[in-house]
Amino acid sequence: MENIASSQEACRKSHHPDSVKKDLTTRLNRIEGQIRGIKGMIEKDVYCDDVITQLSATQSALNSVAKLLLEGHVKGCVVDRLQTGDEAVVDELLVTIQKLMKK
């Protein structure tokens, strides 16, 4: 039974409009640049408080990406699965929200 669930999860895909994919990709590229910048700051022995400020900004940017994905997930995937009678998606969603709230 576990193998079936794992294979179903592996096959699941989201269906984001191209505009959303572009927005997410742009945000993630910016975050990637921020991470490289932070790494450079560490290598150059930049003042700790300045590095922490950049880390905070990067975490905020990651949280924004997570919020956009969560919104799309709820409005798309969760609604679709509920309409097909798959109520297990509610438990899955609660676990996902708990993971996001730990940060």
Q: What is the pLDDT of residues 31-68, one digit of tens each?
A: 999 999 999 999 999 999 999 999 999 999 999 999 99
Which phi-psi region, left, alpha or beta, contains residue 47 (left: φ > 0; alpha: ψ -120 to 50)? beta
pLDDT on residue 17: 87
Q: Give the mean pLDDT of 95-99.
A: 94
CATH number for the domain whose boundaries are 20-101: 1.20.58.1000
Helix H or strand E segment including 18: helix 18-43
Q: Which residue ranges make up each domain of the chain?
A: 20-101
Which phi-psi region, left, alpha or beta, contains residue 25 (left: φ > 0; alpha: ψ -120 to 50)? alpha
Q: Biggest alpha carbon distance in the chain? A: 56
The yes-or-no verdict on residue 97 having pLDDT over 50 is yes
Q: Are 46 and 56 in contact (CB under 8 A)?
A: no
Cα separation, 16 vs 96, in Å, equals 18
